[in-house]
Structure 1
Amino acid sequence: MAGLFGSAASTSQANTLGDLSKDVALQSPPDDSVSDLSFSPQSDHLAVASWDKKVRIYAITQNGGSEGKAFFEHDAPVLSCHWSPDGTKVVGAGADKMAKVIDLGANQNTATQVAAHDQPIRCVRYFEPPGSNAPMIVTGSWDKTVKYWDLRQSQPAATVQCQERVYTLDVKKNLLVIGTADRYINVINLSEPAKFYKTIQSPLKWQTRVVSCFPDASGFAVGSIEGRCAIQYVEEKDAASNFSFKCHRDPPQNNMTNVYSVNAISFHPQHGTFSTAGSDGTFHFWDGVAKHRLKGYPTTGGTISATAFDRSGQIFAYAVSYDWSKGYATNTPQYPNKVMMHPVGAEECKPRPSVKKR
């Protein structure tokens, strides 16, 4: 089922082309590549993690304007950041093998270390354990473990051994999905956080770059380095709805197709539609239920390393910065490094009305 979006996208190219002209640049962006973006679930604030060893927090206005409000530092590049459910704290994690939290509600200027691994921490998420109102943190590391942290304790509440290095993870409600090297994808039901609910090989043939949970936690999307995205449901009864599609590829020329990494997948908080963004410098909005591309956007002039919707779904943030896919030598001072705010139009992310055949 690989070509589902391909034919539809090409035939309706003209009316699906999106507009970047109203996008607004973030003021005073990081000094190096952006690794992660996270909007507050409670207020109009954006956290930005960067290879310059900082996590910055900005206030965002409805027209996309911005103002720096706070930042905290790590000892090495920061690879991931996330907001607490109540919107008072931000966690960062990275190559210094630790996670740190800043308490914005307490007007702190410094962050407190809350987690440690034996290797760099690739991703971090806040979550609320089932039946608890005390948020916890989950970290995934290149040391092949996932650890849960109760912020009132210095030792991990639990450690889960994975098959390989953790490259990506995401959490929504009771669903935790972990993508590792060698294309393993582990699904955990947070009611039983210390064991895998199921493990699958990625439906995509190449290295997993990103996993992103559906808003209703019934499944997840997977993006890989070969310009492909997969939609996967957790339960076997929904398996007939699983599919994958091609994206972030150049049109074939002389029997050759340039393919690009899918670096980020973000779900719209209201509509359940989703975005993909990649090393080709473009992003697209998709309706996974109707298997249809809603909008595709012109190239932004550099690879897109991270994306996020705000809590209302009215602003889509994307980072245009070097994604390290071509190694150290290609990262020149001239390479763009910016975070853009795209105002989401009323029709851009709305699902297509279903057309029933008579």
Structure 2
Amino acid sequence: MSFLGSSANVSSTATTTNTPGQVINDVNVNNPPEDSISDLSFSPQQDLLAAASWDRKVRVYEIDPNSGNNQGRAMYEHEGPVFSASWTYDGTKIVSGGADKQVKIFDLQSQQAQQIGVHDAPVKAVRYVECGPTNTPAVVSGSWDKTLKYWDMRSPQPITTIQLPERVYAMDASQKLLVVGCAERNICVIDLNQPQQIFKNSQSPLKWQTRSICCYPQGNGFAIGSIEGRCGIQYINENEQNKFGFAFKCHRKTNGGTAGSSLRTGASSPSQAYPVNSISFHPVYGTFSTAGSDGTFCFWDKDARQRLKSFPELNSTITATAFNKNGTIFAYALGYDWSQGYMGNRPDYPVQIKLHATKDDEIKQKKKRV
């Protein structure tokens, strides 16, 4: 892609000279939503970007990976704000859920949307998954009604309903791993080989409310972000967790600027913490991004425990992010996230989707020093 132009002990090898990345040439997506964007999702098959918005619509944009040129491809509506949108693995359909309590599926070819499920309260997150040894396709939805439901896309009745300890705030899936972040810092891990039961219940390693969750591409763990500018690196296997798991501060501002250049957990100067609104993993390198209410995004390497690249503060909070299928495009949404209450909103608050062309020196793991 060329449209851009030209909290653990950390060893000294984990530090890096960090120069701010550039966003000045990032491309605007044409005809963005009319209200804050709650979710972004790229097709796993082609450069199509789905955007879920508080304006009750899901929009699909077609992006030229060489020029960054883009245009609307499709749009469909819910009866309330849409909180989540996700693609099927074959890239032919989008599933979505929102404040209208509905789970919908949209067929890109026929341009038709239909309701496939319903909850007793708003649907916070949806994912397309494959369950069991035969990889049976299903849509899974997590709701504020404290349930997780699986749908087979052909029946109005759920295949399975799981009672959760609290309301769903965040959810993600990868391979056979499904992780649900609930209110009161509850985390439910589900093995999709046995999707009808919770594999493990635990408490978030972070002290404050869960805001975002993203599973590793390998399906062996997940990153979790909180409202207090902190991110946790978690593994399902206890031995891996004891060896590699940690938490670190991010999306904080000190008197001297943004806090932290590496994934450290020691004492630091007082800082203002901002919610970590979105975490996205690079599909090839396994590195990841965080984006927050401070209006910045950063790229990180969890294995080396270092920040790869920081980017300048934007005049807006970042509400959602996504990498495309090969990680050459990083999409991020600007819009108000209500983190400062109604006082922080204003009529001219920008609502945009931006496309950043990733470079290897920004997102690829650094070679380890000898």
Residues 6/210 of structure 1: CA separation in 2 closer, same or farther (3 Å cut): farther
Work out the percentage of aligned pairs sharing the same amino acid.
Answer: 51
Aligned to 2:57: 54
Aligned to 1:328: 342
Matched-pair contact (CA < 8 Å) for 1:252–1:258: no
Identify which of 132, 135, 138 aligns with 2:134.
Answer: 132
SS of 2:211's equivalent?
A: strand
Q: Which amino acid aligns with 1:279?
A: S
Shift of 1:4: 4.9
SS of 2:145's equivalent?
A: coil
State the distance in 1 between where 2:334 and 2:8 align: 28
Identify which of 82, 98, 105 aligns with 1:101.
Answer: 105
The question of 1:27 aligning with 2:35 is answered no
Aligned to 2:332: 318
Matched-pair contact (CA < 8 Å) for 2:132–2:194: no
Q: What is the RMSD computed on CA atoms of the aligned residues?
A: 1.9
State the distance in 2 between where 1:6 and 1:23 align: 33
Residues 5/118 of structure 1: CA separation in 2 closer, same or farther (3 Å cut): farther
Give runs of aligned pairs for residues 1-358 of structure 1, distance below 5 A. 1=7, 4=10, 12-13=17-18, 15=19, 17-62=20-65, 63-105=67-109, 107-108=110-111, 110-132=112-134, 134-239=136-241, 240-252=243-255, 256-356=270-370
Deviation per CA, 1:79-132: give whole Å up to 9, x if none: 000011100001111000001111113x22x31001100000000011122333
- Which stretch shows the higher mean deviation, 301-310 or 347-356? 347-356
State the distance in 2 between where 1:122 and 1:5 align: 39
Shift of 1:328: 3.2
- Which residues of structure 2 form unaligned runs of 5+? 1-6, 257-268
Shift of 1:3: 7.7
Deviation per CA, 1:220-268: give whole Å up to 9, x if none: 0000001000100001111221000110000258x64211000000000
State the distance in 1 between where 2:343 and 2:12 align: 34
SS of 1:167's equivalent?
A: strand
Matched-pair contact (CA < 8 Å) for 1:64–1:315: no
Q: Which amino acid aligns with 2:164?
A: C
SS of 1:347's equivalent?
A: helix
Matched-pair contact (CA < 8 Å) for 2:56–2:82: yes
Q: Which amino acid aligns with 1:115?
A: G
- Which stretch shows the higher mean deviation, 134-143 or 293-302? 134-143
Please report the TM-score for the alignment, with normalisation by the length of structure 1: 0.94
Please report the TM-score for the alignment, with normalisation by the length of structure 2: 0.91
Q: Which amino acid aligns with 1:261?
A: P
- Which residues of structure 1 form unaligned runs of 5+? none
Q: Which amino acid aligns with 1:152?
A: R
Shift of 1:5: 10
Deviation per CA, 1:251-309: give whole Å up to 9, x if none: 258x6421100000000000000000000000000000000100000012100000000
State the distance in 2 between where 1:328 and 1:249 align: 22
State the distance in 1 between where 2:333 and 2:325 align: 18
- Which stretch shows the higher mean deviation, 319-328 or 112-121? 319-328
